[in-house]
Amino acid sequence: MANSGTLSVTLPADLLAQVQEAVEDGEYASSSEIVRHALHDWSLNRPGTVRTVDELRRLCQEADDHPGPGVPMDEVFDRLEAKYKALAEAKVV
């Protein structure tokens, strides 16, 4: 990371254990990666955050290019498509 800094964070024992376990289990390469992931999620969910379709596409592509724990992007979109199709059909009937 070209532009980065260091931040010291104190965590409650239970959260610290979860972070250490995730690294030991290989879910993440480091505790820093977990914190970056958490902060990224937090920044996306802050009140007032508005995403354009282009921004959502970029974020989806970024997630697809750097897969981590979770559900594959294609599966998420398949679920969404099925959900909205079912909702649309329910309103037509």
**Domain spans, the chain:** 9-49, 53-93
- Has residue 21 got a pLDDT over 80? yes
At residue 93, the pLDDT reads: 43
At residue 48, the pLDDT reads: 67
Rounded to whole angstroms, the Cα distance separating 35 from 18 reads: 12
Give the pLDDT confidence of 27-47 residue by residue, as tens digits. 999 999 999 999 888 887 777
At residue 1, the pLDDT reads: 53
Apex CA 49: angle with CA 45 and CA 53, to 5°? 100
User: Which residues lie below 8 Å from residue 41, measured CB to CB, with a gap of 6+?
Assistant: none
- In the numeric block, which tokens belong to residue 17? 């254990």
Asked if 20 contacts 31 with a C-beta cutoff of 8 angstroms, the reply is yes
At residue 18, the pLDDT reads: 95
Rounded to whole angstroms, the Cα distance separating 53 from 65 reads: 18
Q: What pTM did the predictor assign?
A: 0.50
More confident residue, 77 or 73: 77
